């Protein structure tokens, strides 16, 4: 069990490249963030920004090749996991840090029952008997509010609905009582009502266990409801970090502001939604200077040549924009 406000995870200047037949893709370019016990950090950004690769690297499940960690540190309770032995990484993976994957149907093995897949890690990692592991699996399914858990523990993934499969994935991730949970797009492809139920369930379990939660998403609505802090990613970089209230009140990076402006609003009924022109850059050929400058309304000559440094905006808030204070003041 985590101690309230304990620093669990520190990702510092993490760099990852994918070495492919087409060239070297700079997937992560100095990612840094931290997570405390009981805190929810939302990692927000478009597809391809590096959100999931960061999580996979933290978990130690990055495909290698093509992925190669070229720099940085990942510290869990002060221990650098990148320099730890594979045996130690196995202990941390699942036992201390667990992950809920985006597509539960793909993550679950279709030829084994849901109960078997939960029980297996209990028997292997904790040495439980089959009887005790089955009893615990039923308890876990009941915890995530799957009805008739004693019956459903014997069913296969295809017999579960999308929402129930995601609940089963949450049960599996909780089996070893981790202190940190990484949820990678946990509500993708679920209808709005089920999305809300899943997020409420995660919030309730997190509060009860004082877990840290890293929520990977592109859904600003979900972020507004559940996050304590937000890290916004673009082209393999964290471009802004802030408390959720501060970020929604006045974003400090033009990319974050553009994302906010693209949201539908009741007070703008009938008006055309704002869009972000262009496309995210290819990670095989990231433009010089600020990677967002080709799409940025505020871009000036220096943005095309000079990579902005992370600026502190107070209260733990940062932005990697040459004009961060101006952006905040224009929205405040």
Q: How far apart are CA 253 and CA 269, in angstroms?
A: 26
Tokens of 281: 């850059």
Instruction: Write down the pLDDT at residue 102.
Output: 81
Q: What is the pTM of this model?
A: 0.92
DSSP secondary structure letters along 261-305: HTS--GGGTTSPPP---S-PPPTTSPPSS-TTGGG-TT--GGGGT
- What is residue 261's predicted lDDT score, i.e. its pLDDT? 86
142-148: Cβ within 8 A, 24+ apart: 143/171, 143/174, 143/205, 144/168, 144/170, 144/171, 144/174, 144/201, 144/205, 145/201, 146/171
Q: Sheet harboring 79-80: ordered strands across?
A: 23-36, 7-20, 67-76, 79-80
Phi (first) and psi of residue 312, to 5 degrees: -80, 130
- CA 107/CA 61 separation, integer angstroms: 13
- Would you state the structure tokens that stand for residue 113, as one six-digit string? 């029952």
What is the pLDDT at residue 332? 62
Give me the residues of the chain with pLDDT under 70, please: 1-2, 4, 265-268, 270, 332
Query: Residue 259 has which token pair?
Result: 């994302």
Identify the pLDDT of residue 2: 66
Task: Name the strand (E) or helix (H) holding 8.
Answer: strand 7-20
pLDDT at 322: 95
In three-state secondary structure terms, 198 is helix
DSSP string, 240-262: EEEEHHHHHHS-SSHHHHHHHHT
> Which structure tokens are listed for 197?
């139920």
pLDDT tens, position by position, 240-265: 999 999 999 999 999 999 998 887 76
- Looking at residue 179, its pLDDT comes to 96
Q: What does the block give as tokens for 80?
A: 């650098």
**Confidence (pLDDT) at 268:** 66
């Amino acid at each position: 069990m985590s101690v309230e406000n304990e620093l669990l995870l520190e990702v510092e200047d993490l760099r990852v490249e994918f070495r492919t037949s087409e060239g070297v893709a700079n997937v992560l370019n100095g990612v840094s963030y931290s997570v405390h016990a009981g805190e929810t950090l939302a990692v927000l950004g478009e597809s391809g920004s590096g959100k999931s690769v960061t999580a996979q690297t933290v978990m130690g499940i990055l495909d290698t090749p093509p992925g190669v960690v070229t720099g940085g540190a990942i510290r869990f309770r002060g221990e650098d996991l990148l320099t730890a032995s594979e045996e130690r990484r196995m202990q941390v993976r699942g036992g201390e840090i667990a992950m809920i994957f985006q597509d539960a149907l793909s993550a679950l093995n279709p030829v084994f029952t849901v109960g078997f897949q939960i029980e297996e890690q209990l028997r292997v990692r904790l040495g439980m008997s089959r009887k005790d592991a089955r009893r615990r699996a039923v308890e876990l399914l009941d915890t995530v509010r799957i009805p008739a858990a004693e019956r459903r523990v014997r069913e296969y993934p295809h017999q579960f609905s999308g929402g129930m499969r995601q609940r089963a994935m949450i049960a599996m991730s909780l089996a070893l009582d981790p202190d940190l949970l990484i949820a990678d797009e946990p509500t993708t492809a679920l209808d709005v009502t089920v999305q809300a139920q899943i997020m409420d369930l995660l919030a309730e379990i997190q509060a009860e266990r004082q877990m840290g939660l890293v929520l990977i998403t592109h859904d600003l609505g979900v972020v507004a409801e559940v996050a304590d802090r937000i890290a916004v990613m673009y082209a393999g970089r964290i471009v802004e970090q802030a408390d959720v209230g501060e970020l929604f009140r006045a974003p400090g990076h033009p990319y974050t502001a553009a994302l906010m402006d693209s949201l539908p609003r009741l007070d703008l009924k009938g008006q055309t939604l704002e869009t972000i022109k262009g496309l995210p850059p290819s990670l095989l050929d990231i433009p010089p200077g600020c990677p967002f400058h080709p799409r940025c309304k505020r871009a000036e000559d220096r943005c095309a040549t000079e990579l902005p440094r992370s600026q502190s905006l107070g209260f733990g808030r940062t932005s990697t924009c040459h004009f961060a204070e101006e952006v905040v003041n224009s929205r405040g």
